[in-house]
Structure 1
Amino acid sequence: MTYKNLNLNLVLFTLLAFTACSKKSNGGNGTPLPRPDTAFINPLVQGSDPWVIQQDTNYFYTHTLGNRVALWKTGRMSRLAFAPQTNVFTPAAGGANSANVWAPELHRLDGKWYLYYTAGAGPDSTQRLWVAENESADPTTGTWTDRGRVFAAGSDFWSIDATVLEYGGSRYLVWSGRPSTTALNQNLYIARMVNPWTLEAQATMISEPTLSWERNGHPVNEGPQVLINPQGKAFLTYSASSCFTDDYALGLLSLREGGNPLNAADWTKSQQPVFVKNTAGNAYGPGHNAFFKSRNGAENWIIYHANTNTGEGCGVRRNIRMQRFRFDASGVPQFGTPVSAGTAVRRPAGE
């Protein structure tokens, strides 16, 4: 997001959140919290811009820290707060990627790990996309090599929040960017990848914030995330409106079956947001999500950040939550409503 907190630190926020939120959800009657081997309670941890990827029986999780990238390794996402943390990548001081390290994502491509992240030299105008590479089988070990900046000509005025789409035998990078040095609205762009650190020359804009719910506080489309349904149809969720508002929310783009991801006309935008605030449940500004499967592969889960109280904006009070979602009979994802803070949620199947 345009102004992400620069120094978010993972803390054992869960116990505090449990105490405060369970009193509200249980009417303050002292109802015992659920056993951790059967359920969990949102928020999981404090942070923003969550990302998770599964390898075998392990999940690797990360989120924005501001000055570095850390990974958390766990076999149970419901126990994320207790997972060990490993600092894996810190950009060199004083460089073009040394400040405002935002929204890291870990991807396994061509037998190696690639860490895509946003960073700059300090001023917001310098924010760009970067990637580092690791040949180790376990991304919490080995050596990370900085592969430099990732960009496509004609669209590199400002760029954040890169993710990878693999579709139809090709690989694409999708990100949020500005159309010029003077226009500050954020659009979504896509370009074909030549390799994990190189894009083809030209990028295509596939979404811009034209709808009213995408323009609260500021016209924003950011945080794109890939979702492929069981039939192979491709979707992109994205975060809309300014993160400073309570109305930060998720939108949805659908790719036409057999469509070309580089053809903007092949993407259809939902006219209404698909995941919005739940004020009664202390979930304000839900957005910048990722997806993962339950450990047994039978369930689909969304992980996202939100605020517990109104008016908390883009700062250190954002926290990480997760819940199950489903696909309807036509294959469209249905995310429902953000689960209320302090409510017991059945842990992902197989944990």
Structure 2
Amino acid sequence: MLKIIRPLFVLILSSVTYVALAEETPLRQNSWGQFIFENDAFGVLEPTDDGYSNGVGYAWGKAPIASFDDIDMPEWVRWSSDWTYINQGDKGNYTLSYAIVQGMFTPSDLDTDQLILDDRPYAGVLLWQVKLRQFDNNIATSLMLDVGVVGPASLAEQTQSLIHGVIDARNPQGWDHQLENEPVFRIESEYLHRFARLALSNQIATDVSFYSQAGIGNLRSDAGFGLTFRVGSGLDETYASINPTASHSANPYGYMSDRGFNWMFYMSAYGSYVLNDITIDGNTFKDSHSVELIHEQGQLSMGFAMRWGSWGILFATLRGSPQHEGQISDTNYGAASISYHY
């Protein structure tokens, strides 16, 4: 994995030499909704059908909002966030978004109904997410909360069976061994700094951003950082939505008020230290199947996004290092989304 990441870092850093930072552009408020579909069969290199197998979700939000006090959000969200670093008053802009996401994790051998001791557990997760973001002068910070459930109550088995039937894939036989029901949560903080930009023409530019995040919870606790390189149009208005992973990717053009044609291509390298991951470690308060977590993890991702009028599409692919001992194939999946802006 390091053989892949090191040259990418050199390429990204070398592109910064002649770059100048861009000025902020006033934005007009824009609402959006987005359907998300992820599947490891869509991986670009050596598609598999294990690990993070399927993901589906719907996200919606409003951007930008000129003041923290103007954000229309539940009182408990305001009470729990107004004393944090997210509340910068009238400085910069804000976004508020929500999402409902479902994830399915399976071992490599889907044809046996026996417990596979040396491979990851069957696990399903159903989450509700709320995310607040503040951005100004090429810097963005965010605060996010995930709450939900792991286990049969997530309905992951039923969703995966339906999806595999539609795409004519193997129907996993081992869901009787999935993790037990357990409430889960995760609190996450993000920091992003777009430190470089180079205009290639009146419409096309490139930029480079540093990204870091840390999260804690029984769902997952980890910290990591990475770099993202982008080329395309509308970059000045969309830098705040950069995320180095394909997972649950939000189309960055949800931030834009312009309904013309815009596009971008991005590449990211990201490394993290994972303290716990319930889908690998097993249930927190009950005995369940588990395997040994690999704490140091790295990943590369690339993707393409575009918007034409009110509609946007995104496709991204991710390839990562092994997440647990004995993992047969590297993490490898693709994500696609379609969004509508109004």
- TM tier relative to shorter chain: 0.3 to 0.5
TM-score (norm 1): 0.32
Bigger relative contact order, structure 1 or 2 (CA pairs below 8 A, ≥6 apart): 2
The structure number with the bigger radius of gyration is: 2
Give the structure with the higher percent strand: 2
Give the structure with the higher percent helix: 2
TM-score (norm 2): 0.33
